[in-house]
Structure 1
């Protein structure tokens, strides 16, 4: 059976997934970027991105014979991230340039940084990588994403943007499909094509979105287009949910698996410890890059187990903060789909279920950004519609899901109240710090 390959250009590694026309996963591979530990904050070496992508494409080809010569390949990933074509230096989403601006303008702010360093022509990160395999000089954008001036001709996710040139281990003549932003690809693969769903795309950042009838929303309301043209997606991203557990891993010098294991023995409420996950400022719903994280309720008996539980609960409180805002718009999701690396922890998923008061669904394939890239490749191969071409919610392969029921607990209600207070205090401190700096 024929195969297509999707690639997610993540913040720390590249991930490839090969699927067939039924959506069955045939092979997968992951590779970290060589030398990434030495990159300055918000910077990357795009040649290392290319090296890792080439590696995972070869790996899935080795793992399954049909993936050795796929029908199509698509590359998406972290965004906004911009590459100066001739260098190739990259500025990533973690760079402060344009961080408070809309995505299109953030791309332009990143390009301005690179222009000041001699990078005159720029591309989105995943478009630059796709071009090394033979794609044309284009900008790949989701259905309703605004075009970025100077970034090449606009092509929507799932359209054909070239054929492979035989470089980097991919055979010649393979269709190359326009990719897109990792979160949007995850929404597609996770099935956000009907009303009543919410999703946390996971990863190092995370966030929460929910679906609603497009006609229900005000004309000026912020929205993302669902693959189903009748459905809109609302909500927002956060900055450091997966990153928070990595921070604790480095702080304690204990593996993530060990931390999650000892947190299992800590009751709800984390022994009175509350964590605000604003390690790199915050996006939704505070939208304040200067706000900083915090811990409240530390005691002499607080150890790695309580801190881990507090991190898991604090990130879930952050999702509830977004959900409360969504509900004020009259949107009430019935379930939450959890994806990405955090969804591999049943404890973390069950905490999210209970704090949000929603059943959690965990897909059989948690790396939905790479899977969404594979859906884009499948669209280019003619297997199913591109996003926005149909109002049929079942036009694309559906994932098997494991369901986790919520357990309402008073400890979480108290913890959420304290979480909001801690965040409000952090915002006040950010204002004080900014005022002191100006004076």
Structure 2
């Protein structure tokens, strides 16, 4: 059977900037992928979105995939996952959304952030508001039953609908969208969970940076590890947890630099490749929107240190790449102190398309990096869920390591350099100083005025 006619399942990742659809065959081979942006997204305010743009982008990504791969026009099953915590509210006046970039509940657990978002949306819509996770609403618009997709072990979200386990069928496509009626729709999960599943975080010491505009670091540990906290989640393999945390703005830092300089991100990466390790003394603290793990301080802000008259866009771009790697190393240090060392790092998402950036991460963290093909592992994970719904392989929580296919991986070995050791020390010291300044400013603001 030729790849073009092989049966496929489709997974769609609803990312921050676009929807990415990917087709897998029963062997786990990627037979095609397609991307679609969100109409009107340029006018959305940070932390806010019009869900109709997400829906249109999701459907268009599947249509584009079907145009290049005939079997994708009639998939065996279809699953959506995506950015989280993101909440959609429906009611009088049409749907609206608060995204994971909204500050509501941002310093709490994912469940607390969802509930903070739903409370704000409830103030706008009143008691008639119906709240959804992003990907659940998209599937409901396509014909699925009311549900909230839940990864194994996830706490329930109050008011988000009846629970449905990731990988279970929640309805079928109605056909109103132009997609093929009767196609089974399968419960998904948030993008990070799907990425960890696809990246094979199924043995202790395997770690991942899911990339994207934000990023972060997660590592698989034995259940009950001292590193487990309220952010820990079960791996797809029973008996393992995934610990770590998200960051706020690693990919976004390069997007910001691109808008500031008028240079496209690939051009900035090319300039950075000509700059030696250490970025000629320039250090970037990538806290454009505060920082999540491990500082958890929304009031922090990005800083650029060591600028001189000779510094150019390439130096700052290189420093941004290194700053992101130092941010991951900061989380890794916290995890290692809790007996959760990293042996291998999987780099995914759009930043993984830069071999330079992956190499910097390998060298700063001192571990080999695996780069998946395709890098959009959240879409691959959504396709794994669709395959579970089709009975091709176990649902998460029902299998063992090796029961699920993985994308093809390219290995990058670390190239240790003393300049990175000093760079990490400076990064941590500058971050500590920023925290101290924020605390001092907040103390002054809170202090009563002198009589």
TM-score range relative to shorter protein: over 0.9
Aligned to 1:72: 77
Q: Is residue 103 from structure 1 mapped to residue 110 from structure 2 by the alignment?
A: yes
Deviation at 1:18, TM superposition (A): 1.0
Paired residues for 1:166-177 under 5 Å:
166-177=175-186
Q: Is residue 204 from structure 1 mapped to residue 209 from structure 2 by the alignment?
A: no
Distance of 1:383 and 1:103 partners within structure 2? 30
Return the TM-score normalized by structure 1. 0.97
Residues 31, 52 of structure 1: 8 Å contact kept: yes
Distance of 1:336 and 1:219 partners within structure 2? 19
- Report how many aligned residue pairs link the two structures: 438
Aligned to 2:401: 393
- The secondary structure found in structure 2 opposite 1:401 is strand
Distance of 1:106 and 1:216 partners within structure 2? 25
Distance of 1:219 and 1:54 partners within structure 2? 38
Aligned to 1:92: 99
Deviation at 1:115, TM superposition (A): 1.2
Aligned match of 1:224 in 223, 233, 249? 233
- The secondary structure found in structure 1 opposite 2:124 is coil
Q: Is residue 117 from structure 1 mapped to residue 107 from structure 2 by the alignment?
A: no
Distance of 1:270 and 1:397 partners within structure 2? 39
Aligned to 2:411: 403
Deviation at 1:211, TM superposition (A): 1.1
Aligned to 2:3: none
Q: Is residue 45 from structure 1 mapped to residue 54 from structure 2 by the alignment?
A: no
Aligned to 1:274: 283
Q: CA offsets per residue over residues 142-183 of structure 1, 9 Å max, x none?
A: 111110011100111111111111121211111100011101
Deviation at 1:195, TM superposition (A): 2.0
- The secondary structure found in structure 1 opposite 2:241 is strand
Aligned to 2:358: 349
Distance of 2:292 and 2:187 partners within structure 1? 27
Return the TM-score normalized by structure 2. 0.95
Distance of 1:80 and 1:106 partners within structure 2? 6
More deviation, 133-142/115-124: 115-124
Distance of 1:432 and 1:155 partners within structure 2? 46
Q: Is residue 186 from structure 1 mapped to residue 191 from structure 2 by the alignment?
A: no
Aligned to 1:360: 369
Unaligned runs of 5+ in 2: 1-5
Shift in alpha-carbon separation, 1:220–1:366, aligned structure 2, 3 A: closer
- The secondary structure found in structure 2 opposite 1:402 is strand
Aligned to 1:57: 62
Residues 132, 167 of structure 1: 8 Å contact kept: no
Shift in alpha-carbon separation, 1:153–1:39, aligned structure 2, 3 A: same
Distance of 1:398 and 1:125 partners within structure 2? 26
Deviation at 1:61, TM superposition (A): 1.3
Residues 292, 430 of structure 1: 8 Å contact kept: no
Shift in alpha-carbon separation, 1:216–1:419, aligned structure 2, 3 A: closer
More deviation, 426-435/317-326: 426-435
